[in-house]
Amino acid sequence: APQETQDIINTAIEKTKDNTGLKLCFAFIYGGRDEIVHASKNIAIKLKEGLIKEDDINEQLFSNELMTKDLPDVDLMIRTSGEQRLSNFLLWQLAYAEFVFTNVLWPDFNDEELYKAIWLYQNRDRRFGGLK
């Protein structure tokens, strides 16, 4: 990564080093499809080496091969700038997420916009794929 990017990351690490409530994650040169392919290859290798059986392959095993294995799935995805697409971002992890799309550009996304998004989220009926 360019030095400027490394400096930003190092500053964020330094400023958040004593935090305990939230996790800060950066996704540089990340692609959801690539992540899924990588996880599939890892599972294929484990299967070939006899470390797992075909019947062991399930959603949990697959999730454990993803870069986000130590994080919960996404509950709320906020997409700024009027875009209404995933853009190859966290394809597996967004399966049951609620989406809020806003025309507000990221630099202008402030506390008020966040509260609006959270209010929309709180007023949704989350069924996680089930029927009502």
- Its pTM surpasses 0.85: no
Within a domain: 109: yes
Which residue shows structure tokens 């400096």? 7
Is the pLDDT score of 66 beyond 70?
yes
Structure tokens at 27: 């996704």
57 plus 32 within the same structural domain: yes
Instruction: State the pLDDT at residue 85.
Output: 93
Question: Is residue 69 a contact partner of residue 63, using CB atoms and an 8 Å limit?
Answer: yes
What's the domain range around 110? Answer: 72-124
> Beta strand 76-79 with 98-101: parallel, antiparallel or unpaired?
parallel
Alpha-carbon span 69 to 66, nearest angstrom: 5
Is the pLDDT score of 76 beyond 70?
yes
Nearest-10 Cα torsion for 122, 117, 99, 21: -80
45 plus 81 within the same structural domain: no
Structure tokens at 112: 């008020």
114 plus 78 within the same structural domain: yes
What are the DSSP E strand ranges found in the chain?
Answer: 76-79, 98-101
Within a domain: 12: no
pLDDT, tens digit (0-9, with 9 covering 90-100), for 21-43 = 877 677 778 999 999 999 999 99
3-state secondary structure of 69: coil
Output phi, psi for 98, to 5 deg.
Answer: -95, 145
